[in-house]
């Protein structure tokens, strides 16, 4: 039986038949690699995800981490699974060989890690955060910081966090109040409370490397006064051994609807519970320069946002695969044409409405996977393309696509899980079947790493106007390069519809920014995000359809059918949204609180 | 502070400013009533819901019913609340005085009961099922059956169930296998297994009255061979006292994602665990005639479907009210125009995207409430209108609207809860706030009492073609009577858009039924249901807007703004759906299983 976690066949299609990741092996960074090494690591990921991550997904949901005597207790399966993961070298998969990594292309690395998210999103969050943390330090930390913190992270001995939010400041980082006071020895002492810190405390590893946003007194107000600090749970001696306990303590755990396997914490910094060096205050080490913390953090956040998008996709993907399996084995009712009540019930997949749900979900999750891997491919281009112009183009396009890569799957991945429950009927609503957990788990994704609203402001308020609109122009060119390839094929009509939508997006963007009042321009940013997202995924469905060429296996036919579905059923939805935006609709803007 | 359970102001608007329920007091059945008695019972409902239902909503979620030694154990708060409810006479609220009822109009009864569903849907399910059970027996049972079973139900001494589904036959009742063998004394003995039976066992009442669908051997196959039986948990002596334990036993409990306070059971009939009269087999009493069980059950189901729709609405409604309250008190960030990071954070309701979410939710839940109460008003018309023609019209229109009244709120009520979580941000995803429970609870509604797919087949396959399309024609006339009243008002444009959608619905229906192949006609029935639902609710928003007249309170302004929102943001969605239907799109139909 094929896996119900993810479809390896689809990943192979996306990686090889479409994105041609094998061509990357010609580049200096990837010369050690080949189709065989890519296959081997994907095989390994599937096997470990299947054998060590999936089996405790429900157990972790039923037995969430607890705070006992100030420590986090959790089921032992989490540590066992993560040990297998790190022992297999997967923590460092796409990192430099110099740091013990495999130097995999990001595109392959994203596909590899997708297995773990789909199998057990709660457990996978620990390495996910650690890899993001390590990547940020590699980009912006000093060599000493890299040697001290990144190496143990990539060996899986220490895990990392990103500590941004505070109880009074979720999305609004300008309002954080954690203070970092410079000390004579060049370190800082941090004081404040951080909220929503995933992996913020646990006994999985001997140390935890917090990356903390804080303000240095006297700095500029708002986001321009934010600096970034390394705050380890245990201070580290010069020889790399653990020293004193730092003054950062677990203040409480958040109890969530889903995603329960991931400890989510409230952390107190500098309350004097511990006194490193005989002094209260959490010892922190500045990363890079003062007041540039948010810029550095966005380096990690952009990667995290694409990763969250992939997570939302694969939670929907595994829901879809479970629903498909259920629909093929559960018999009930008869086709509309067969009215004889004595005839045998058929598998429910034969009912058109069940197929509607499955095809809808397929178009969302395979579309989302294409989006995630396309963005990962851009990361590879950004870092390893031969000339600077190509790297800059990839960087710009990735910047443009990031809010969509985060938000689109976070909106439609949960819908795939909703449909997966519906396909199961009453059984899907019980805890005897896994789909209800996928649904609960996936509900986090529209919230964390920047809500949908934040992503919509990023897209319309920043990305489409950056560099004089060159990001938007590049997206348009990239899409129309694909639609041009559709000329003379059965996809010409799809391409024409996409072209029309691209043209509208340009016109609507101009109208919005011509409104003369940013409040009016941005009032309906969420609608803009939805339209742009559907347009982008329509383009990626066209790309997939074209990549099937003349292959006529069931797999390829299914790809083409899902592309047709997205063309006929989903793409037309953008026009109502563009109509609304074009009218500079003020309904929301003109609604005072007292009318609600 | 206004209630966060429901809005009494809105109920008063719908009942009095729009539906004019006071005019019902001129009819013989309701002469004892007045605005004052309606107000008093609504006050009572709010008070009992607030004091006795809402407080244990989370407790019941955290401590779901358990099976201990073959019995159902649950938290004592459920029984206490239901005792207060029945002691207040609310179980019999809209029933005849002859049976101890208040003879309230259904419209008022629906508004009254909405308080309990919104406050605690799990606990409210027991009386909800009991009332439906009693109403069915009143319509189709013998006088002896009514005296024996209905009276104790309406006194709250016994509760009732509806036992339709079986493990192998959820939506497909044609395939039930529970057998009922006639006995010499006129009773039947039932053998079989029933699944998903809410309230199927508990210790809340001394007896439980199961209404069970079963097949009498030798009857016709399929749904035409289904009969309906009363199967009490305890047999009843001639004097009304309890006799022997009947042979129906609890086989297990289902553990759900939400709606946990309602015991959901697997029941075994006739396995010989008990031997009433010295013989294995559950003793059953035929209701009405043989083989007409499904017809009778639909009497209960249609009412239950409207009730489920109201439940989905009010779970969304309470989510909306909680989100609104949160948005008004939680401060974070600044308006787009105020860029000074040192300025004070504002309540998040001031952010346009938060208002978008709230206004969207408001348009769904107030639209859903209008739909539910409009249907309840049709029940009153159907039963008490002065002449037969009016009663028949009301019956026909209600029949037409029932699948929409069930399915539309079941689709959009959960979206309101989804938005309520999103407004709360990370806090909404935690179990410290109630919205995540509303979201989980509400996910049941698209499944039970006929899935969305079943409702769509009912609408397109049956309702729009019944009586030569007269139901559809009546709906159209009813809507255009409202749009005509909009002439010369600010709502003329809204009315014109509704008229256009009505015309399209007629044309599309003709196209679909002209396809010449029922498989093609019905393939996209869910799309049809969605379009019809949005059109109907748009009409009900126009009705509400017109009902505000020239009143200019914040409440009325808010009503009008939500109507504008539904007009500009929601109604246009129908056209993409009608386009798809008009094209007789075969994408889903032509997708073989192997392509998925």
Residue at A525 is within a domain: yes
In this prediction, residues A507-527 reach a mean pLDDT of 96
ipTM above 0.95, yes or no: yes
When divided into structural domains, chain A yields a total of: 1
Residue at B491 is within a domain: yes
CA distance B211 to chain A (A): 20
Please check the confidence at residue B400 and state whether its pLDDT lies above 90.
Answer: yes
CA distance A302 to chain B (A): 19
Residue at B576 is within a domain: yes
Please check the confidence at residue A170 and state whether its pLDDT lies above 80.
Answer: no
Question: Are the C-beta atoms of residues A131 and A150 closer than 8 Å to each other?
Answer: no
pLDDT in tens, B496-513: 999 999 999 999 999 999
**Whole-number pLDDT of residue B197:** 96
pLDDT in tens, A86-103: 999 999 999 999 999 999
**Whole-number pLDDT of residue B46:** 98
**Whole-number pLDDT of residue B239:** 96
With cut-offs at 50, 70 and 90, classify the pLDDT of residue A169. confident
**Whole-number pLDDT of residue A43:** 98
Active site residues of A: 449
Residue at B199 is within a domain: no
In this prediction, residues B60-78 reach a mean pLDDT of 97
CA distance B147 to chain A (A): 34
Residue at B571 is within a domain: yes
Q: Count CB-CB contacts under 10 A for residue A276.
A: 19
pLDDT in tens, A464-489: 999 999 999 999 999 999 999 999 99
Q: What is the mean pLDDT of chain A?
A: 96
Which DSSP string corresponds to A236-303?
Answer: E-TTS-EEEEPSEEEEEE--BSS-TTS-EEEEEESSSSS-GGGS-SEEEEE-SSTT-HHHHHHHHHHH
Please check the confidence at residue B341 and state whether its pLDDT lies above 80.
Answer: no
Contacts of B589 in chain A (CB under 8 A): 352, 355
Contact call for B593 and A328, based on CB within 8 A: yes
Between A171-175, A569-573, B427-431, the lowest mean confidence (pLDDT) is in: A171-175
Domain that holds residue A554: 451-590
Q: Is the pTM of this model over 0.95?
A: yes
In this prediction, residues B295-318 reach a mean pLDDT of 92
B166, B381, B449, B570: the active-site residue: B449
Q: Is B322 helix (H, G, I), strand (E, B) or coil?
A: helix
Q: What is the mean pLDDT of chain B?
A: 96
Rounded CA gap, B319 and B325, in Å? 10
Please check the confidence at residue B338 and state whether its pLDDT lies above 90.
Answer: no
pLDDT in tens, B415-473: 999 999 999 999 999 999 999 999 999 999 999 999 999 999 999 999 999 999 999 99
Contact call for A587 and B579, based on CB within 8 A: no
Q: Is B259 helix (H, G, I), strand (E, B) or coil?
A: coil
**Whole-number pLDDT of residue B172:** 82
Q: How far is CA B318 from CA A248, B3, B289, in A?
A: 39, 9, 43
**Whole-number pLDDT of residue A168:** 83
In this prediction, residues B332-342 reach a mean pLDDT of 79
Please check the confidence at residue B170 and state whether its pLDDT lies above 80.
Answer: no
Of all residues in chain B, what percent carry a pLDDT higher than 70? Answer: 100
**Whole-number pLDDT of residue B2:** 87
Residue at A263 is within a domain: no
Torsion of CA A282, A286, A292, A298, to 10 degrees: -70
Q: Which of A175, A256, A588 sits opposite B430 (nearest CB)?
A: A256
Residue at A360 is within a domain: no
Q: How far is CA B168 from CA A265, B196, B549, in A?
A: 44, 11, 53
pLDDT in tens, A210-262: 999 999 999 998 889 999 999 999 999 999 999 999 999 999 999 999 999 99
Rounded CA gap, B438 and B316, in Å? 7
Contact call for A587 and B595, based on CB within 8 A: no
- Write out the H or E segment, with its range, that includes residue B195: strand B188-198
With cut-offs at 50, 70 and 90, classify the pLDDT of residue B340. confident
Q: Which of B341, B432, B565 sits opposite A174 (nearest CB)?
A: B341
Please check the confidence at residue A119 and state whether its pLDDT lies above 90.
Answer: yes
Question: Are the C-beta atoms of residues B441 and B64 closer than 8 Å to each other?
Answer: no
Of all residues in chain B, what percent carry a pLDDT higher than 90? Answer: 94
Rounded CA gap, A523 and A588, in Å? 7
Q: Which of B196, B328, B591 sits opposite A561 (nearest CB)?
A: B591
Please check the confidence at residue A308 and state whether its pLDDT lies above 90.
Answer: yes
Residue where the block lists tokens 């954690």: A178
Residue B368: closest CA among B331, B317, B441:
B317
Residue at A423 is within a domain: no
pLDDT in tens, A18-77: 999 999 999 999 999 999 999 999 999 999 999 999 999 999 999 999 999 999 999 999
In this prediction, residues B235-239 reach a mean pLDDT of 97
Residue of B349, B415, B593, B594 to mutate, interface with A, max A Cβ within 10 Å: B593
Contact call for B353 and A573, based on CB within 8 A: no
Contacts 24+ apart (CB under 8 A), A26-35: A27/A384, A27/A386, A28/A384, A29/A103, A29/A383, A29/A384, A30/A103, A30/A104, A30/A105, A30/A384, A32/A97, A32/A103, A33/A103, A33/A104, A33/A105
Please check the confidence at residue A298 and state whether its pLDDT lies above 90.
Answer: no
CA distance A380 to chain B (A): 31
In this prediction, residues B522-551 reach a mean pLDDT of 98
With cut-offs at 50, 70 and 90, classify the pLDDT of residue A303. confident
pLDDT in tens, B179-214: 999 999 999 999 999 999 999 999 999 999 999 999
Contact call for B439 and A436, based on CB within 8 A: no
Taking the alpha carbons at both ends of chain A, their separation in whole angstroms is 52
How many residue pairs from chains A and B have C-beta atoms closer than 8 A? 264
Name the pairing type of β-strands B158-163 and B207-215: parallel
Please check the confidence at residue A301 and state whether its pLDDT lies above 90.
Answer: no
Q: How far is CA B372 from CA A101, B346, B367, B409, B590, in A?
A: 61, 36, 9, 9, 37
Q: Is B430 helix (H, G, I), strand (E, B) or coil?
A: strand
Rounded CA gap, B393 and B386, in Å? 12
Of all residues in chain A, what percent carry a pLDDT higher than 70? Answer: 100
Please check the confidence at residue B303 and state whether its pLDDT lies above 90.
Answer: no
**Whole-number pLDDT of residue A30:** 97
pLDDT in tens, B206-231: 999 999 999 999 999 888 999 999 99
């Amino acid at each position: 039986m094929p896996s119900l976690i993810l479809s390896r066949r689809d990943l192979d299609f996306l990686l090889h038949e479409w994105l041609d990741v094998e061509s990357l092996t010609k580049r200096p960074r990837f010369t050690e690699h080949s189709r065989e090494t890519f296959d081997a690591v994907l095989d390994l990921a599937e096997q470990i995800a299947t054998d060590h991550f999936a089996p405790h997904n429900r157990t972790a949901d039923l037995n969430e981490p607890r705070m006992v005597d100030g420590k986090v207790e959790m089921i032992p399966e989490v540590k066992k699974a993560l040990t297998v993961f790190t022992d297999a070298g997967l923590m460092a998969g796409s990192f430099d060989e110099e740091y013990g990594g495999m130097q995999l292309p990001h595109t392959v690395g994203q596909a590899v890690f997708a297995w773990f998210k789909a199998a057990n999103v709660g457990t996978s969050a620990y390495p996910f955060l650690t890899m993001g943390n390590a990547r940020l330090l590699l980009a912006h930390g000093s060599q000493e910081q890299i040697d001290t913190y990144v190496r143990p992270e990539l060996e899986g001995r220490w895990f990392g966090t990103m500590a941004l939010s505070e109880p009074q400041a979720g999305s609004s980082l300008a309002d954080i109040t954690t203070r970092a006071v410079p000390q004579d020895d060049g370190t800082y002492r941090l004081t404040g409370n951080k909220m929503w810190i995933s992996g913020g405390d646990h006994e999985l590893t001997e140390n935890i490397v917090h990356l903390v946003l804080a303000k240095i007194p006297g700095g500029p107000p708002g986001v321009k006064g934010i600096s970034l600090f390394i705050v380890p749970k245990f201070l580290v001696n010069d020889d790399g051994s653990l020293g004193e306990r730092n003054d950062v303590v677990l203040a409480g755990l958040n109890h969530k609807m889903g995603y329960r396997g991931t400890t989510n914490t409230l952390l107190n910094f500098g309350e004097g519970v511990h006194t490193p060096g005989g002094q209260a205050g959490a010892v922190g080490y500045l990363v890079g320069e003062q007041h540039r913390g948010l810029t550095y953090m966005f380096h990690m956040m952009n990667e995290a946002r694409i990763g969250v998008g992939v997570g939302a996709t694969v939670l929907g993907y595994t829901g879809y695969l479970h629903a498909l399996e259920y629909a093929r084995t559960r018999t009930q009712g008869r086709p509309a044409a067969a009215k004889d009540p004595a005839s045998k019930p058929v598998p429910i997949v034969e009912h058109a409405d069940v197929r509607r749900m499955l095809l809808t979900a397929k178009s969302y999750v395979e579309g989302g996977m294409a989006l995630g891997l396309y963005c990962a491919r851009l990361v590879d281009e950004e870092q390893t393309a031969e000339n600077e112009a190509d790297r800059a183009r990839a960087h710009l396009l990735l910047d443009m696509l990031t809010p969509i890569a985060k938000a689109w799957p976070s909106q439609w991945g949960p819908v795939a899980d909703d449909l997966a429950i519906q396909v199961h009927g009453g059984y899907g609503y019980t805890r005897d079947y896994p789909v209800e957990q996928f649904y609960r788990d996936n509900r986090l994704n529209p919230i964390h790493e920047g809500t949908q609203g934040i992503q919509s402001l990023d897209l319309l308020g920043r990305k489409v106007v950056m560099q004089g609109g060159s990001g938007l122009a590049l997206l348009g060119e990239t899409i129309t390069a694909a639609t041009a390839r559709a000329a003379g094929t059965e996809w010409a009509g799809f391409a024409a519809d996409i072209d029309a939508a691209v043209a509208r997006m340009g016109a609507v963007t101009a109208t919005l920014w011509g409104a003369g009042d940013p409040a009016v321009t941005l009032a309906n940013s969420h609608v803009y995000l939805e339209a742009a997202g559907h347009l982008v995924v329509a383009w990626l469905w066209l790309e997939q359809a074209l990549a099937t060429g003349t292959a006529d296996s069931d797999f390829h036919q299914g790809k083409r059918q899902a592309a047709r579905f997205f063309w006929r059923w989903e793409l037309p939805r953008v026009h109502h949204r563009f109509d609304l935006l074009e009218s500079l609709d003020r309904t929301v803007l003109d609604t005072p609180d007292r009318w609600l």
